[in-house]
Amino acid sequence: EAEVAQSPRYKITEKSQAVAFWCDPISGHATLYWYRQILGQGPELLVQFQDESVVDDSQLPKDRFSAERLKGVDSTLKIQPAELGDSAMYLCASSLGPGAQGKLFFGEGSRLTVL
Amino acid sequence: QQQVKQSPQSLIVQKGGISIINCAYENTAFDYFPWYQQFPGKGPALLIAIRPDVSEKKEGRFTISFNKSAKQFSLHIMDSQPGDSATYFCAANAGGTSYGKLTFGQGTILTVHP
């Protein structure tokens, strides 16, 4: 069964350092999402791509976070500099597109700990 | 207005019992209500979903009940099994250009004792 691949699974970093997460969506899925899940809470959307274009980044803290999906396939989420409050699970998800409303396939996530 | 409120935070059920998780929303633009199941160390996975034009949807042991006038919906797990032990999230989506933006509840940790 096709899966959304994410790496690294775990990342420990010190505050003010840079960190990057990578995601490879399910083949053929045009839409890619980055969600952040703080421990004990539901995921929250950070950024949504349709192919290589950003559809929604209204909740992305743009002073320190950036995301790209250059060729419309895999994607990278970067945080620079990391802050203590960024400790969370970063989930990548993909879907077929507008016809698959709300039907997202999530990866296993990248757990970030900022010391 | 974008919130989805979920209860209870945690739930303990005996094997064979019924698990019930409730959610409420405010935004009347929401028109798609999925439930996601998350096991430890895994990402959420779509379990079942409903649109507000129906009051109930059943898939196997899982049933969503939807009350449009009260803006509430719930997940019922019949004959609960230890393998159902997971965190369950209700969510809501408004469609249109927000087709992928899910507003999640806080989650319910379900434990099913053998």
* Nearest Cα to Cα of residue A113 among A32, A15, A46, A13: A13
A100–B43 C-beta distance less than 8 A: no
B99–A56 C-beta distance less than 8 A: no
- The partner residue sitting opposite A102, judged by closest CB among B41, B93, B105, is B93
Whether a cis peptide bond, with omega within 30° of 0, leads into A98 is no
Q: Which of A104, A105, A110, A111 is the best mutation test for B, with the most CBs of B within 10 A?
A: A104
Q: What are phi and psi of A85, to 5 degrees?
A: -70, -5
Q: Is the pLDDT of residue B90 over 70?
A: yes
Bridge partners (DSSP) listed for residue A31? A50, A95
More confidently predicted of A40 and A19: A19
Q: Residues A83-92: pLDDT tens digits?
A: 999 999 999 9
**In which residue are the tokens 């960190």 written?**
A19
**Across chain B, what does the average pLDDT equal?**
94
User: B101: distance to nearest CA of chain A, Å?
Assistant: 6
More confidently predicted of A96 and B11: B11
A93–B43 C-beta distance less than 8 A: yes
H, E, C per residue of B2-54: CCEEEECCEEEEECCCCEEEEEEECCCCCCEEEEEEECCCCCCEEEEEECCCC
Residues 6+ apart with CB under 8 A from B72: B22, B23, B24, B25, B66
B105–A108 C-beta distance less than 8 A: no
- The partner residue sitting opposite B100, judged by closest CB among A48, A91, A108, is A48
Q: Residues A69-78: pLDDT tens digits?
A: 988 899 999 9
Q: Residues B20-62: pLDDT tens digits?
A: 999 999 999 999 999 999 999 899 999 999 999 999 999 999 9
Whole-number pLDDT of residue A2 = 80
Residue type present at position B101: K
Plot region of B89 (φ>0 → left; ψ -120 to 50 → alpha; else → beta): beta
B45–A31 C-beta distance less than 8 A: no
